[in-house]
Structure 1
Amino acid sequence: MPAVIPPVQAATPSKADALLLYKQGRDLEASGKKAEALVKYRDSVVICDKELAADPSRMDSYTVKCWSLFRLERYREVVDIGAAGLKVKFDARIVEVMGEAYFHLNDDTSAVRFLQRYLDNVGEYGDRVPTAYFYMAESFMRQKKLDHADIAYSFAVYREPGIARWWYRYASVVELLGDYKRSNELYGKALKLSPGMAEAVAGQARVKAKL
């Protein structure tokens, strides 16, 4: 009697993964495929909504939803969803993205408060520490708190020295403080990373003329 060959079972579809979709969106955005990235972010939000409907205490879903909404530039929703998540449980990831969202909503007082709260809770080596310091510095700049901005930018570039724009912004505040020698050096750091940055070229020329 011939052996019975069991039927081939269809592959079980993989569970939709909101975080994976978010990461795919970031990769697409980094490669210039913004429209495709937005689709991934929207799909990620849909999955998070389903997860939260099933389990309203799922902090990862609140977090990934906030991240995806942020990339969609839906900043008010980031703040609202983040606040709902924090009522369930404290999560530093949510606090940080709320701080960035408040910055984009031009609420610098709240931005600084939330970013500082994030820094207070994750220590020096948290994943978003450099970005948190950068956004704090930007908020301080808008508030005309130049000394505070100087310090925050210095921490940002110390932890993440490879972003030319950050060095340029740091140089700009130091120029406003009248420290032209240090500003010249900082513009130079920006230009070393991005030799064609016109703003940094102009800034360095300005401060060199005052040395």
Structure 2
Amino acid sequence: MLNGNTDSQNDTAETQINIPANTKIKKDALKLYSSGKYKESIQVCQEEIQEDSQHIDSYVVMCWSLLANKEYSEAEYWATEALKISKYDQRVIESLAEAKYYLGKNDESLKLFQEYISLVPVNGSHIGDAYYFMGEIYIRKGMYDHADISFSHSVRTDPLYDYWWTRLGYAREMAGYYSSSLAAYEKALQLNSAQPDAIRGINRVKSKLQ
């Protein structure tokens, strides 16, 4: 998972999936994913699905591993298959949204992230990531006010990622809100004084405010 919060899925994976204690293979698939052994995890998940094509958790770990391994077309395929089994599984919806984001399918990805947000609690562990991706999509589409709103939600949810503050600054800069853009860039530098995009952004915005 991209976005300045690349470890968030690994950090929460074991709490998001309930696997019976006596199901060794499923435990191994998740453990392999969490330890960064994505190809091995994918192989285990494929074996699980061959044995039980309706077991949604196998698809979930498969999608996480494919995304982490940057196999976005495969992740899109398996997430689509998973939704046939569990239409409103928020983990699958998020994975499909992310796969489509990396494949450049902006409108489809945006719709899925919006659906994901509607399904999870306001304090859900990946809410900030979803808003972050939405912000990036809006920037791709040149909708900078919408990007401002999305990034504002993401930093409100988790204010410790300097890159998210940097992207908020950029969205505001592109929308012409130079004072609030400067504030966001400055916040990014408070968190990481070496953040290069924030440094460049501050220099650009200050020249426009003079």
Which of these residues, 43, 48, 56, is aligned with residue 45 of structure 2?
A: 48
In 1, Cα distance between the equivalents of 2:126 and 2:200? 31
- The match for 2:172 is 174
In 1, Cα distance between the equivalents of 2:48 and 2:77? 18
After TM superposition, the score normalised by the length of structure 1 is: 0.84
| Cα distance, 1:210 vs structure 2 | 2.3
- Structure 1, 14-23 or 149-158: larger mean CA deviation: 14-23
1:8-87 paired onto structure 2 within 5 Å: 15-16=24-25, 17-25=28-36, 40-87=37-84
In 1, Cα distance between the equivalents of 2:53 and 2:196? 49
1:106-145 paired onto structure 2 within 5 Å: 106-145=104-143
| Amino acid aligned to 1:187 | Y
Q: Does 1:186 align with 2:204?
A: no
| Cα distance, 1:198 vs structure 2 | 2.1
Q: Secondary structure at the match of 2:35?
A: helix
In 1, Cα distance between the equivalents of 2:111 and 2:42? 26
In 1, Cα distance between the equivalents of 2:197 and 2:80? 38
In 2, Cα distance between the equivalents of 1:80 and 1:47? 17
In 1, Cα distance between the equivalents of 2:148 and 2:121? 20
| Cα distance, 1:203 vs structure 2 | 1.0
| Cα distance, 1:51 vs structure 2 | 1.1
Q: Secondary structure at the match of 2:142?
A: coil
- Structure 1, 134-143 or 46-55: larger mean CA deviation: 46-55
| Cα distance, 1:15 vs structure 2 | 2.7
| Cα distance, 1:125 vs structure 2 | 1.8
- The match for 1:159 is 157
Q: Which has the larger radius of gyration?
A: 1
| Cα distance, 1:24 vs structure 2 | 0.8
How many percent identity over aligned positions? 36
Deviations 1:84-113 (A, max 9, x none): 111011211010011111111011001101
Number of residue pairs aligned between Structure 1 and Structure 2: 184
Gaps of 5+ in 1: 1-13, 26-39
Q: Secondary structure at the match of 2:208?
A: coil
In 1, Cα distance between the equivalents of 2:59 and 2:116? 16
Q: Does 1:148 align with 2:165?
A: no
In 2, Cα distance between the equivalents of 1:101 and 1:162? 25
In 2, Cα distance between the equivalents of 1:103 and 1:185? 28
Gaps of 5+ in 2: 1-22
- The match for 2:12 is none
After TM superposition, the score normalised by the length of structure 2 is: 0.85
Higher relative contact order (CA 8 A, sep 6+): 2
Q: Secondary structure at the match of 2:24?
A: coil
In 2, Cα distance between the equivalents of 1:198 and 1:43? 36
